[in-house]
A and B are shown apart, each in its own frame.
Chain A
């Protein structure tokens, strides 16, 4: 991967016109404990990861690697039907395998206290709701003997007809917004567009699989878990096993990626904890295999989305219609919400936004990389490109022309909105003004060349309920919060936030995260980690200085929690961005390559320039991957994803990513939270696939409305 170096984390005079209220960080006197030569921390510095040395030396323990005494190993048995009942299970051969400690089935597994969440009601009945569901599990002395024995469990089924495919129609309405009269606006407009687009089923595939070590003790349940939130695990798991929350201890100091799939506990965790009730007190370890991940740890629904746009002859939109169709597991409803972003992106007096959900016999859908906004903005921004073309307006200018003054849905002002600044700065950097608008006319050797643009957005939230504790000892400040670092840099960013709030140098702050031993933290999801945990840390720092001033006694300690935001109801709060891509399509073979991507974002204050850029280009790479590759192929006859490994489910590899650059404008938003941050976990992926698809159209003149953009779609 070649990454364009950037020395300056912030730039852009365009943003200077926007509100620059600064931050409302607690005003405290400089700490006298700070060494004179080291300045107090200011957010935005480029900090190396505190956890970097441990990770590159292989000493940072991931969930599976925590040393435990005498572990036993679990391997599951998965259903080979998509709907029906287990009618018989023969575990004799499995039990006879040397080293097997227990074989769990629905007939002998311990009963759970709460089975309301059907995804987590593991081995509690004979019902099979999707292919790949757990129907048994083996616990053994070694992973190999567990796997061997699991293969020997014989399961009989009473199969019922299943349905897994999402058609173009059907479903029950999940949401609907109506402003004005869409139909009338479509009927009377100078230019209209009415297109249906699809995005395929996709699966989160973090490098580290979903992993659990579960052990029961006299005090309750201890879990080493690969999770986006130790407290999310505690609060979900405790009632399932009939425990008080305090009886569940969860540890997750390092997490090898989650992308939403580790946001909430899934069935593998419950199965491991169940099995640990039959292991004689020994800890039980289970790492989900790559193939199992395609049935057990969540996925993104396929979508079918109709976009209707109407505009006058100058390219001003009069109507926006967005109807999204998605599937959900029959046993657990989850709405992706693909059409949500169409509510706030562009001005138009007439607007209809709907979502419909179709229950299917599929594994549970769940959070995946910018839920809703990722597939929804892909199709909206593809349609905007088509509409710009139809109106004869440059696609950057077309978006600027339809910029709303207020949130079109709520009528509230935006706390800050710098989409236009991002588009302009991106266009400048990408040399957009020299672009020839004609599609399919540039050729370099055997390659057709084009460029494309798309907008990006993600809502800004602070989840209530996080607390932090700060303790002063030996001239250093220890910061405790049960937050999670998924590889994003949270360890480092939280230390930076604490240092700025305490007005001390970064070097004297020691963060402690990833454990329920530390104060409550909300999930690392929805781009809320830093906004929520950081707010709690700032509050704790304020409280600390209020109580102890700048010369705290040894052992001084203070706590703080996220506070209600008085501005939350007054403003519409979102981050925005502009994505640019250059695409080359081989004239003979249809192969598609992306030599250049640029993302410019307006996401409030950036905490750590180094890790922020890494996170943003990571998101953009995932968008590239979505555009070109990712497609879970659901075989309707069997009911499961048949390309369930990395040979079949392609994710962008290094050679697919060439020049990729992320930048941001210097945005100050005093309304979102005490730091002025908006969260950058998701916005990098949103719109990236549309920019690639729009560039592919510009290169070839071929508009692909069904992802992914595979070579055959460009073949002549």
Chain B
């Protein structure tokens, strides 16, 4: 941990200005991941700009339908909010499947999206890691890879994104509102996080001074019966081996629309477009669900310790769709 400067921003523009002017500056939300990384020497910001007190702490219906979630809303408040529980149960379930009660009380909506991988080599400054130190090599390849990616990984990085909430948001086609040095813009959550490629140090498409101010959920009738299923080693307080966020619109035994995202399989929440396409118009049967899962996983590239993730994610998806149908 290095000595650092601490500033508290009064509004979003001031926060962005503070960070924009300092290459070593970064935003501080709940701090549940960033402060850990600072202690470990994984992140060494010279200045923290605290945005946790900015007025983005409400969950409100949007005029044209849908819901706006302020980026400073704590995970526990969001999970318990009646609008979320009634209209987007998948999001409430995903939040409650993440971390612990104490962490959820502190962690914010914006911060949850921007938490970084828990790859053991990323978190250990004594081992090479391309994400932490570009060009130093990937220690996970040839090492302990039980938690690592089977989809969309690169030679440079096989890390997974740890968020549960982000998987639900990707499935729901949520968008993030971003305040940056050049004004505000919207980014779909499904496009917020990157695949590692040759730049695994970049988790998202955001710039250093881009601040997430809100997450917007679209109006989505089928989301009222959405669900989140997380498979993990412990009954609670463990990162996903595999997770599935899904919603299914079935009429007369035929799938009209499926929405599916996987967690624990890739560098980003994995929206399962192939599986969704396979299911469109298909009978709502176990065989069709299995075919959809296999279509999505056809290009999976397991590592030494995580070949199990292929059958586990297939079975989990089939099980979730069976329950939803």
Contact = CB atoms under 8 A, between A and B. Distances in A.
Interface of A: 80, 144, 147-148, 151, 291, 446, 588-591, 593, 628-629, 633, 635, 637-638, 640, 642-645, 647-648, 650, 652-656, 710-712, 715-716
Nearest to B128: A638
Per CB-CB distance, the 7 closest pairs between chain A and chain B, nearest first, are: A712-B308, A655-B235, A655-B236, A588-B315, A588-B319, A642-B120, A80-B126
B318 A715 contact: no
12 contacts: A80-B126, A151-B41, A291-B40, A588-B319, A590-B308, A635-B144, A637-B143, A638-B126, A644-B124, A648-B120, A711-B308, A716-B311
A620 B233 CA distance: 19
Given A147-B1, A590-B312, A715-B311, A655 B234 contact: yes
Interface stretch (B70-78, B184-192, B237-245): B237-245
A642 B122 CA distance: 11
B236 A711 contact: no
A144 B142 CA distance: 35
B154 interface: no
A40 B153 CA distance: 71
Given A650-B238, A653-B234, A711-B312, 20 more contacts: A80-B126, A148-B1, A151-B1, A151-B2, A151-B41, A588-B318, A589-B312, A589-B316, A590-B308, A590-B312, A591-B232, A640-B126, A648-B118, A652-B234, A653-B237, A654-B236, A655-B234, A655-B236, A712-B308, A715-B308
A656 B235 contact: yes
Interface in B209-255: 231-239, 241-242
B127 interface: yes
A588 B40 CA distance: 37
Interface size class of B (residues with CB under 8 A): 35 or more
A144 B312 CA distance: 43
Interface of B: 1-3, 39-41, 118, 120-121, 123-124, 126-127, 139, 142-144, 231-239, 241-242, 308, 311-312, 315-316, 318-319
B98 to A, nearest CB: 12
B253 to A, nearest CB: 22
Contact of A655 (B3, B40, B237, B241): B237
Contacts of A655: 234-237
Nearest to B118: A647
Contacts of B308: 590, 711-712, 715
A712 B312 contact: yes
Nearest to A78: B126
Nearest to B311: A715
Nearest to B2: A148
Q: Which of B41, B233, B238, B239 gathers the greatest number of chain A CB atoms within 10 Å?
A: B233
A446 B143 contact: no
A322 to B, nearest CB: 30
Contacts of B40: 291
Q: What does DSSP make chain B's interface, helix, strand, loop or mixed? A: loop
User: In the complex, which of the residues A144, A645, A712 has the most CB atoms of chain B within 10 Å of its own CB atom?
Assistant: A712
Contact of A643 (B41, B144, B237, B318): B144
Nearest to B120: A642
B4 to A, nearest CB: 10
Nearest to A657: B235
Contacts of A633: 120, 144
A629 B233 contact: yes
Contact of B233 (A645, A654, A711): A711
Contacts of A635: 139, 143-144
B132 to A, nearest CB: 14
Contacts of B142: 637
Contacts of B237: 653, 655
A629 B120 contact: no
A590 B238 CA distance: 16
Nearest to A446: B319
Contacts of A589: 231, 242, 312, 315-316, 319
A129 to B, nearest CB: 17
Given A589-B231, A654-B236, A712-B308, A642 B121 contact: yes
Contacts of A643: 120, 144
Contact of B316 (A144, A588, A652, A716): A588
A408 to B, nearest CB: 39
A7 to B, nearest CB: 29
Contacts of B39: 147
A648 B124 CA distance: 12
Nearest to A651: B234
B42 to A, nearest CB: 12
B235 A593 contact: yes
Contact of A656 (B2, B123, B234): B234
Contacts of B144: 633, 635, 642-643
Contacts of A629: 233-234
Contacts of A650: 233-234, 238
A647 B146 CA distance: 13
A642 B127 CA distance: 10
A148 B2 CA distance: 5
A241 B195 CA distance: 56
A630 B311 CA distance: 24
A653 B236 contact: yes
Contacts of A711: 231, 233, 241, 308, 312
A151 B234 CA distance: 34
Contacts of A446: 319
B120 A715 contact: no
Contacts of B123: 645
Nearest to A640: B126
Contacts of A654: 236
Contacts of A645: 123
Contacts of A144: 1, 3
A712 B315 CA distance: 12
B313 to A, nearest CB: 9
Nearest to B232: A591
A650 B120 CA distance: 14
Nearest to A145: B3
B231 A591 contact: yes
Contacts of A147: 1, 39
A333 to B, nearest CB: 27
Nearest to A643: B120
Contacts of B235: 593, 653, 655-656
Given A588-B319, A647-B239, A710 B312 contact: no
Contacts of A715: 308, 311-312, 315
Nearest to B314: A588
Nearest to B310: A715
A633 B143 CA distance: 10
A708 to B, nearest CB: 8
A655 B101 CA distance: 12
Contacts of A151: 1-2, 41
A410 B123 CA distance: 52
A126 B300 CA distance: 47
Contacts of B41: 151
A640 B144 CA distance: 12
A638 B235 CA distance: 31
| Among A147, A291, A642, A715: residue with most chain B CB under 10 A | A642
B233 to A, nearest CB: 6
A149 to B, nearest CB: 10
Contacts of B311: 715-716
B58 to A, nearest CB: 31
A656 to B, nearest CB: 5
Contacts of A591: 231-232
A9 B300 CA distance: 56
B234 A642 contact: no
Nearest to A716: B311
